[in-house]
């Protein structure tokens, strides 16, 4: 798994491609690395609610106090409740609200790393071009703010076009096999 | 996404101007030559400015930024070469081939090829196998016909000196390389947010190559004069490249409300 940690450290903006069922492992690996090497991270979650994510990271012995969660999913099913280390977005398709919130976090300079999970899921809520435009702007803002940005993306048919467009703005695209992620979990 | 009115206005004005010069031929050969080169310079300048406009949202640290930046440098060198030829035409009336402008024109291919090679190296070819295969076959047929009808006869011509032969071979070869690499990028990115911008840039490069190949063919037979219908290819080429850059900028602009 040296590939994930080394290349995460070596690049400012990276896409980590992983098989769908291994998303959680990839996220935990990146969170562990953020905790070990940096002082914490912002995790933007398009895959699971913040409370579920919080619990799963805690189970993986990750100090969740070092993380800040931007929860895009909870609003679709539950009433939003205030939480000290979580911000909620009122709708997954509202990129303006998400953009403003992330800009605010970047301006605060409180976190040196941002992990975006799962970028492919954005396509469920927004048009392809709007997603590319949004992510390009996020990348630019992160570069300006010196924040390391990691995108976790599914290796599935629907993500190919997005990957094609995004790879033009990335420092690196890393394909993580199920075997590698398994080794990392065991290690 | 429609291009801004200013870009459409400039593109339309350049087309109308070149059509007037080529078909109405106002003021005789000298005026047509000067006007023809002036329009060429303006069209290349339009592509350069559009490239700068697109690059301002990018950074040289990303592949996209490096590609647009280097292509823009290529367009700038095209503008400089055209301006040198315009000065020659306006003041000297006759000059040797290859002139200093030709050296600048050949130099303009270097950043463009660097940009495109870098793009092709960085990008993953994910799918579109049939379209890519069709494009490569079409390019191969074009390359063979150019080699047979242009390059080999020019190399075998005993009346032409070595330096002229080198330039005569360089122009079509470099153009074929640019078309191949731009086409590859356009095919790979087809279907995504950059379909139209890379499609327009590819079309532009193809038209510039068509202009250069027509120039080489007609020049070889002693039939080329500035203001020939083949000049329309060059103007159209620069215009499409400019519109491609402008579209790329539109795609990447900060969404409204997020500042």
**Is the predicted pLDDT of residue A10 greater than 80, yes or no?**
no
For residue A155, list chain B residues with Cβ-Cβ distance below 8 A.
none
Interface contact A164-B257, CB threshold 8 A: no
**Is the predicted pLDDT of residue A185 greater than 80, yes or no?**
no
Residues of chain B with pLDDT under 70: 93, 125-128, 255-259
Q: How far is CA A114 from CA A16, A30, A106, A148, A151, in A?
A: 13, 10, 9, 6, 8
**Number of A–B residue contacts, CB under 8 Å:** 81
Length of chain A: 187
Interface contact B61-A143, CB threshold 8 A: yes
- Cβ neighbours for A50, distance < 8 A, ≥ 6 positions apart: A69, A71, A74, A83, A86, A88
- Cβ neighbours for A48, distance < 8 A, ≥ 6 positions apart: A56, A73
Chain B: nearest CA to A106, how far in angstroms?
A: 12
- Chain segment A89-146, per-residue pLDDT in tens: 888 888 888 999 899 888 888 889 999 988 888 988 888 889 999 999 999 889 888 8
For residue A103, list chain B residues with Cβ-Cβ distance below 8 A.
258-259
Interface contact B192-A133, CB threshold 8 A: no
Two structure tokens written together for B152: 């080999």
Q: Which ipTM value was assigned to this complex?
A: 0.79
Chain B: nearest CA to A61, how far in angstroms?
A: 35
- Which residues in B have their CB inside 8 Å of a CB on A? 1, 57, 59, 61-64, 67, 119, 122-124, 126-127, 188-189, 191-194, 251-259
Query: Strand A113-117 to strand A86-88: parallel, antiparallel, or no bridges (unpaired)?
Result: unpaired
> Considering only alpha carbons, which residue of chain A is nearest residue B198?
A165
Task: Please give the biggest Cα pair distance in chain B.
Answer: 67
Q: How far is CA B178 from CA A23, B113, B182, B216, B221, in A?
A: 40, 6, 6, 16, 25
Q: What is the DSSP letter of A115?
A: E
- Chain segment A67-79, per-residue pLDDT in tens: 999 988 887 666 6
- Per-residue confidence (pLDDT) for residue B259, from 0 to 100: 58
For residue A95, list chain B residues with Cβ-Cβ distance below 8 A.
255, 258
Q: What is the C-alpha to C-alpha distance for residues B184 and B190, in angstroms, rounded to an integer?
A: 10
């Amino acid at each position: 798994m040296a590939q994930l940690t080394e290349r995460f450290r070596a690049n400012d903006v990276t896409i980590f491609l992983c098989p769908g069922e291994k998303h959680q492992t990839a996220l935990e690996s990146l969170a562990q690395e953020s905790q070990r090497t940096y002082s914490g991270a912002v995790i933007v979650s398009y895959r699971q609610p913040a409370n579920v994510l919080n619990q799963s990271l805690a189970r993986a012995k990750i100090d969740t106090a070092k993380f800040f969660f931007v929860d895009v999913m909870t609003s679709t099913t539950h009433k939003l409740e205030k939480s000290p280390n979580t911000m909620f977005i009122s709708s997954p398709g509202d990129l303006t609200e998400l953009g403003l919130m992330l800009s605010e976090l970047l301006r605060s300079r409180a976190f040196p790393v941002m992990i975006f999970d799962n970028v492919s899921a954005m396509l469920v809520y927004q048009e392809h071009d709007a997603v590319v435009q949004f992510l390009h702007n996020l990348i630019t803002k992160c570069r300006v703010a010196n924040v390391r940005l990691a995108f976790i993306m599914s290796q599935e048919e629907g993500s190919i076009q997005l990957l094609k467009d995004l790879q033009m703005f990335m420092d690196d695209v890393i394909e993580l096999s199920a075997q590698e992620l398994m080794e990392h979990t065991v290690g | 996404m429609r291009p801004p009115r200013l870009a459409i206005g400039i593109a339309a004005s350049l087309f109308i101007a070149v059509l007037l010069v080529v078909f109405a031929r106002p003021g005789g050969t000298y005026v047509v030559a000067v006007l023809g080169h002036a329009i060429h310079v303006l069209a290349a300048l339009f592509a350069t400015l559009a490239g700068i406009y697109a690059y301002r949202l990018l950074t040289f640290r990303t592949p996209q930024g490096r590609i647009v930046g280097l292509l823009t440098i290529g367009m700038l060198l095209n503008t400089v070469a055209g301006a040198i030829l315009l000065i020659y035409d306006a003041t000297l009336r006759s000059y040797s081939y290859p002139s200093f402008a030709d050296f600048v024109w050949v130099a303009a291919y270097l950043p463009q090829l660097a940009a495109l090679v870098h793009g092709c190296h960085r990008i993953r070819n994910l799918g579109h196998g049939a379209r890519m295969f069709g494009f490569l076959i079409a390019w191969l047929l074009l390359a063979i016909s150019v080699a047979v009808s242009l390059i080999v006869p020019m190399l075998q011509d005993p009346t032409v000196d070595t330096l002229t032969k080198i330039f005569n071979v360089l122009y079509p070869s470099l153009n074929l390389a640019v078309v191949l690499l731009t086409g590859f990028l356009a095919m790979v990115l087809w279907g995504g947010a950059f379909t139209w911008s890379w499609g327009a840039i590819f079309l532009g490069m193809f038209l510039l190559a068509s202009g250069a190949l027509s120039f080489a063919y007609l020049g070889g037979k002693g039939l080329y004069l500035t203001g020939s219908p083949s000049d329309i290819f060059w103007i159209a080429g620069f215009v499409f490249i400019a519109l491609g850059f402008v579209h790329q900028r539109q795609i990447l602009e900060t969404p409204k409300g997020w500042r």
